[in-house]
Amino acid sequence: MKPGRLVRRSILLLLAFYLLWLGWRGVSFHRYSGIIEGDATTAADAAPPVFELEGVYHMHSRFSDGHRTMDEIASIAAEAGLDFVVVTDHGAPNRGSLAAAGRRRGVLVLAGTEISTNRGHLAALGFDPPGQDFSRIADNAAAQVAAAGGFTVIAHPYAKTAWSWGPWAGYSGLEILNSEVVAKRAPFRTLLFAPLLLIRPEAALSALVGPPLRETAAWDRWGAERPVHGYFASDAHFAYRGLLRLFHTHVLLDASAAENFAAARRQVFGALREGRFYSAVEAAAEADGFRYWAAHSGRITLMGGTIDPGTDEGGPAGGPVRLTVRTPFAFAHEARLLRNGAAVASGTGPELVYETDVPGSYRVEVFLRERTPLRAGIPWIASNPIFIGKAKS
Ligand SMILES: [Zn+2]
Ligand SMILES: [Zn+2]
């Protein structure tokens, strides 16, 4: 055989293998479904009543460098079954984007803004439009956003414009996963899965998400001293159809969402501000119904909350804090309870209970165990912490 023909044949063979492999990845991708309700009779405590809203945090529209209009984003979000999206167009703030917020196609289209600061990108949420633009100095911007009634989240701290760390200047949280980063951090892998993005975006994206090791380390380091909230961020600029199905943010409200847009906006931003939400790789499995709360001195504290056993009614004599994790899922999973990042308890059943009087930041990660489309080390669900002790400002 001539060498030229051999090379051609080898290339064709490789291509055939690649296409077969890709096809198999697409066909074999299995999104779990079929939630069963937790068996209430085995539960020691009834889960606190909450109203759960599902949405996607961090994306861009045509008001900055996104490829879709607010209306198009709302339509795609409605198709994906979302209750809300948080658009974060670049600016300080992006006033066009803010003015375009509203209820569109039945979806709450909320607007924050992503500020390019001296330390990196800072997402500002829930503020009233300021008279003057926000500072480009991160620590000042955080204070100004807070003064305008809002709060801030450090975006993609270890990629793109990596965050240059200084004091924890009143930020409310940081991004743990960011799908934009995923593609840039693993360009070869992204290229390999690129054709699948067009056919089965959920399969491609689930395979592309890498373990958030540095992000969770930073979360646990800063979070050991104060409540710090972790976000899974879409950061969609294009490919909204796939990206709006990848990471979901589940907020927990104490009442159903208000008809009035301004009131509903306050509810969702209020839950985000207080950390009453959890994040999930929704493309892998439907995560609705996850619950995590604490009971102490007859009081219930939801995720994001702080308990100071020293000053609570009853004081330390009020006994240990009882942490309950409810994972009523019909598929193999493992819930891990972490204190300042180290596992203190785990379980594979629908409920995990842990009692403690040790101060610290307690958060939950849930992993899928069998037939999981996720790579090793990727939490399917990440809760926000319940903070026990005195928080440093
Ligand atoms: Zn950014
Ligand atoms: Zn962004």
Task: Report which of 355, 362, 383 is spatially closest to residue 291, judged by C-alpha positions.
Answer: 383
pLDDT at residue 8, rounded to an integer: 93
Burial of 42: CB neighbours in 10 Å, binned 0-12, 13-18, 19+: exposed
Ligand nearest to the backbone CA of 112: 2
DSSP code per residue over 195-245: HHHHH-HHHHHHHHPPP-HHHHHHHHHHHTTS--EEEEE--BSS-HHHHTT
Ligand nearest to the backbone CA of 161: 1
Distance 330 CA to ligand 2 centre (A): 34
Residues facing residue 351 across a β-bridge: 326
CA distance 329 to 35: 5
Ion ligand 2 nearby residues (CB, 5 A): 114, 235
CB of 47 closer than 8 Å to CB of 289 = no
Distance 386 CA to ligand 1 centre (A): 28
Distance 155 CA to ligand 2 centre (A): 7
pLDDT at residue 313, rounded to an integer: 52
Measured in whole angstroms, how far is the alpha carbon of residue 99 from the centre of its chain? 25
Q: What is the pLDDT of residues 132-160, one digit of tens each?
A: 999 999 999 999 999 999 999 999 999 87
Distance 188 CA to ligand 1 centre (A): 22
pLDDT at residue 37, rounded to an integer: 44
Report the amino acid identity of residue 383: S
Q: Which helix H or strand E contains 26, and what residues bound it?
A: helix 3-28
CB of 257 closer than 8 Å to CB of 267 = yes
For the chain, the straight-line distance linking the first and the last C-alpha, in angstroms and rounded, comes to 74
Ion ligand 1 nearby residues (CB, 5 A): 121, 155
pLDDT at residue 154, rounded to an integer: 98
Distance 88 CA to ligand 2 centre (A): 7
Ligand nearest to the backbone CA of 113: 2
User: What structural domains and CATH numbers belong to the chain?
Assistant: 48-388 (3.20.20.140)
Distance 58 CA to ligand 2 centre (A): 6
pLDDT at residue 3, rounded to an integer: 79
Q: What is the pLDDT of residues 46-99, one digit of tens each?
A: 788 899 999 999 999 999 999 999 999 999 999 999 999 999 999 999 999 999
Distance 33 CA to ligand 2 centre (A): 30
DSSP code per residue over 243-306: HTTTEEEEEEESSPPPSSHHHHHHHHHHHHHTT-EEEEETTTB--TT-EEEEEETTEEEETT-E
CB of 229 closer than 8 Å to CB of 304 = yes
Q: How many CB atoms lie within 10 A of CB 28?
A: 10
Ligand nearest to the backbone CA of 87: 2
Regions in the chain scoring below 50 on pLDDT: 35-42, 312, 314-317
Distance 65 CA to ligand 1 centre (A): 11
Distance 392 CA to ligand 2 centre (A): 29
Distance 148 CA to ligand 1 centre (A): 22
**For 312, which DSSP code?**
S
